[in-house]
Amino acid sequence: METPKLTKQAILEGTRLRVAIKVKEYGAEVVIRPLTDGELTRIFSVVGAIPLKADGMPDVDGMDVSKNFEALRMAASMGMEEPKLTLEEVGSMKFGVPEYIGMKVLELSGVSGEEAPQKKKKIEEFAKSPEGFELAALCLDCGYKLAEHPRDLTRDQILFLTASVAYRMQQVEAAKLADDGITRIVVEED
């Protein structure tokens, strides 16, 4: 199955995105949203130093188990919109449910899961597309804000902005070399 293309609307939607997930232990659905960068920072502060994988993504498998459970309960509490539950209420759910919901919230936030590296690549490709270039111009040149405060940005929005800046820097460097009469051949591997 082909993965759908990332759109400007998906980037702009940020934490307004809502996804229903089925919780089989309760035979019902809950509605979750992605976390902001500020919320993720609070969760990661509970965990402490986070080991990273080679691709730069957090290695959740290398974390302390008890802190991991606490962080996942926090993620579930912060990211669950329907029903909205406190951290204490999330802790009284059936065994394994808070952790399941927390992992889904983190995946939706772009932090973990099998698709995280592919998601990062999709965002980088989007930043190079005409639609991504337009959104980057609005954000970087015209002052359009994806969120009121930087701590409210989602992981996808941060990845998009950094990919856009990196792409611009590549374009400026290529233009500078072209002005000097230098032809540059770039080979990229997937």
List the chain pLDDT tens, one digit each, 190 residues: 455 677 777 777 777 889 999 999 999 999 999 988 888 888 888 777 666 677 666 665 665 667 778 888 999 999 999 999 999 999 999 988 998 999 899 888 877 655 666 777 888 888 888 888 888 888 888 888 887 877 777 777 887 888 888 888 878 777 777 777 777 676 766 6
- Helix-strand-coil split of the chain, %, nearest 5: 55, 10, 35
The residues spanned by each domain of the chain are: 8-113, 117-179
In the prediction, which pLDDT does 190 show? Answer: 60
Phi and psi dihedrals of 80, rounded to 5? -85, 125
Q: Give CATH for domain 8-113.
A: 3.30.2220.20
State the DSSP H helix or E strand holding residue 29, giving kind and residue range, or none if neither.
Answer: strand 28-32
Rounded distance, CA 181 to CA 115, Å?
A: 41
